[in-house]
Amino acid sequence: MNLKKNVLLVAFLAFISTVGDLTAQQDAQYTQYMFNTMSVNPAYAGSRGQFSAAALYRSQWVGLAGAPETFTLNLHSPIRNSKLGYGVSVVQDNIGDGVVSETYLDAVLSYTIDVSLEGKLSFGLKAGGNILNLDFNALRNFDVEPVSVDNIENRFSPNVGLGIYYHTNKFYAGLSAPNLLQTEHFDNSQTASNSVQFLSKERINFYLITGYVFDLSGNLKFKPALLTKVVGGAPLQIDASASFLFNDRFSFGAAYRWDAALSGLVGFQITDQLMLGLAYDRETTELGGTQFNDGSFEVFLRFELVKSFQKLVSPRFF
């Protein structure tokens, strides 16, 4: 295995379990967050007006051994003749070729009120938890100094999240905290002497999302969008994107993650029910050189029980 790739993986693993200090673990990141909103805001559940199933796969830093992989699955729908929406969210994170595996399972409920002729305001709650597996023995595959702590197997940690989401036919904005409970996964700082010492702790991630759809012509729409994530102990994350939608079928655009990556996005509304989205990231940091990795890829697929665009509560663009 390439020595530089080994060194980079060790540095990454050291980042998620910081030696001698705290680590602020962050939620998974997505380039196609505008199509994967329920993963970061439970108030989005049911807002599309019909049953919606969305799956997203992200491969981070392709070509770097042990780099993160994330899979998400979101199912949600409004409840007929009510103001309620409901859903289920599953997120699976894998890091280090079996070193870290974490699964989030959540049930989601939303309540929507009309605040104007076009504006709707939704409040969301999610409850569930995560299952963590951490195999310290697998670190030996990367020539890392042995860690004197027991492996973690299927450790369940409960969690709750809140969100608020406002939208019209052209504008949306949301504020959320998907995981409110700060969970300590392991702490050997009191028992370790000459070995590696660390504390791993989940921190609260706060999200602000917003976007607006401009009608440029009869067949062309333009939507700028923004996602901001704040978490204690980590840099502020700002994702800005600009996308065009042609003939309600084909979308394309670009995105920029502040001090991190440039991205390209394309989407295809294959049928009225089925949408495919693709994204590619290129790191703007030192990690972005081709000698380290070949970028990051996302594949997004959404299926909805809808017969025509006119039956949608809000445009397919969000």
- 38 pLDDT higher than 70: yes
Residues 163-195: pLDDT tens digits?
Answer: 999 999 899 999 999 888 876 655 555 555 545
Number of Cβ within 10 Å of residue 25's Cβ equals 22
Q: Which two tokens stand for residue 233?
A: 């102990």
In 3D space, the residue among 297, 222, 275, 228 whose CA is nearest the CA of residue 55 turns out to be 275
Q: What is the pLDDT averaged over residues 16-39? A: 64
> Does 4 have pLDDT greater than 70?
no
Max intra-chain CA distance, the chain = 69
**Residue 67 three-state SS:** coil
For 289, the token pair is 């050189």
Q: What are 32's two structure tokens? A: 């196609």
- Are the beta carbons of 190 and 149 closer than 8 angstroms? no
Q: Which range, of 154-158, 171-175, 307-311, averages the lowest pLDDT?
A: 307-311
Name which of 45-59, 140-154, 270-284 the model is least confident about.
140-154
Helices (H) and strands (E) in the chain, counts: 1, 18
Does CATH number 2.40.160 belong to domain 26-185+268-304?
yes
Opening angle at CA 213, ends 210 and 218, nearest 5: 170
Of residues 213 and 8, the one with the higher pLDDT is 213
Cα–Cα distance between 13 and 139 in angstroms, integer? 9
Contact 265, 56 (CB under 8 A): no
Sheet (strand 199-202) strand order: 22-25, 199-202, 184-187
Sorted by sequence, the CB contacts under 8 Å of residue 288 that are 6+ apart come out as 261, 282, 295
Convert the pLDDT of each residue in 53-89 to its tens digit.
Answer: 999 999 988 877 778 899 999 999 999 889 999 999 9
Q: Does residue 278 contact residue 272 with C-beta atoms inside 8 Å?
A: no
Q: What per-residue confidence (pLDDT) applies to 200?
A: 56
Q: What is the pLDDT at residue 154?
A: 86
Closest CA to 312 of 278, 250, 269, 252: 269
143 vs 86 pLDDT, higher one:
86
Mean pLDDT of 284-301: 77
Model confidence over 105-126: pLDDT tens digits? 999 999 999 999 989 999 999 9
Mean pLDDT, residues 20-37 taken together: 67
3-state secondary structure of 271: coil
172-176, 263-267, 287-291: the lowest-pLDDT one: 287-291
| Under 8 Å between Cβ of 203 and 231 | yes
Spell out the domain ranges in the chain. 26-185+268-304
Q: What is the mean pLDDT of the chain?
A: 81
Instruction: State the Rg of the chain over Cα.
Output: 20
Q: Please calculate the CA angle 92-264-76 and round it to the nearest 5 degrees.
A: 40
Structure tokens at 47: 């807002």
Q: pTM of the prediction?
A: 0.82
pLDDT at 141: 56
Exposure string for 154-172, b = 16+ CB within 10 A, e = fewer: ebebebbbbbbbbbbebeb
Residue 173 · residue 164 · CB < 8 Å:
no
Residues in the chain: 318
Q: Over the stretch 220-247, which tens digit does the pLDDT of each residue have?
A: 999 999 999 998 777 788 999 999 999 9
Report the alpha-carbon angle 248-254-255, nearest 5.
Answer: 120
